[in-house]
Amino acid sequence: MNQNKKTIIAIDGYSSSGKSTLAQKISKELKFNYIDTGAMYRSVALLAIQKNVFNSDLWNSTNFIPILKEINFQFKWNKILNKTDFFLNKKNVLHEIRSKRVTNKVSLIARIPKIRDILTTIIKKFIRNVSNKGIVIDGRDIGNIVYPQSELKIFMTGSIEIRSYRRFQEIQKRGGLNSYSYEEIKKNILYRDRMDTSRKISPLKKSLDSIEIDNTFLSPEKQLTLVLKVIENIKNNRKKIKKII
């Protein structure tokens, strides 16, 4: 990898395929920043719910979009919990944006071209302004649309059963199972996959130059080891090419 410029690692893939787990592990290991773009789309869905957009005639109207011009996102490393906190307009919404009502609505929000435009601009600004030596970004359209020049693109997948089971376990750990059954989780994941792959604008699609990781039978630690090896290879190849030139 280029030693003098910021290294961008794009991680796209299906819902609950372990993108953020891998992204956070890479960012910790390499001391890179981490941007969870799903959190941004989820926040917009949360705002839309709070503004009653889904229950009113305002849906699809121009009234909601101007609110997004003022939107403010912040990612902050939480040393105690050992994970990244996420703030929407200065409020920590890390848990709220993972609620059932937000999860059920977010893919509808993510289909609206104007909303994608605004969020893509914000994400690009994050990338430009980051002071660190690199960033790991996870989402659905990072490698194809947001930052096609990423040095490493990873596309994550896994069987629907394992993805649903892992999400089920995660929600169980948070104590949120009263509101979600395994079957409901599976249904929601399938629904979001369908919505995200079928939308006209920036659909979820494996880019030709990405590395696919199917983690059905692969632990997060093994995935990290694999990615670090790929990064090492990229670095070594760069050095060799430099020597030849």
Can you give the binding site for ligand C5P, defined by CB under 6 A?
15, 37-38, 41-42, 106-107, 110, 139-141, 192, 196
Report strand pairing: 134-139 vs 7-13. Answer: parallel
CA gyration radius for the chain? 18
Nearer to ligand C5P, 30 or 40 (CB): 40
Are 41 and 180 spatial neighbours (Cβ–Cβ below 8 Å)? no
Nearer to ligand C5P, 1 or 98 (CB): 98
Asked whether the CA dihedral 155, 135, 220, 226 is positive or negative, the reply is positive
φ and ψ at residue 144, rounded to 5 degrees: -90, -40
CB of 189 to ligand C5P, least distance (A): 9
Are 24 and 84 spatial neighbours (Cβ–Cβ below 8 Å)? yes
- Please report the DSSP string for 133-201 in residue order: SEEEEEESSIIIII-TT-SEEEEEE--HHHHHHHHHHHHHHHT-GGG--HHHHHHHHHHHHHHHHH-SS
CB of 155 to ligand C5P, least distance (A): 13
CB of 210 to ligand C5P, least distance (A): 14
Position with the least CB separation from ligand C5P: 38
CB of 196 to ligand C5P, least distance (A): 5
Nearer to ligand C5P, 200 or 242 (CB): 200
Nearer to ligand C5P, 27 or 107 (CB): 107
Nearer to ligand C5P, 141 or 151 (CB): 141
CB of 233 to ligand C5P, least distance (A): 27
CB of 224 to ligand C5P, least distance (A): 19
Block residue for tokens 């996870």? 138
User: Does residue 212 sit in helix, strand or coil?
Assistant: strand
User: Does residue 5 sit in helix, strand or coil?
Assistant: coil
Nearer to ligand C5P, 110 or 136 (CB): 110
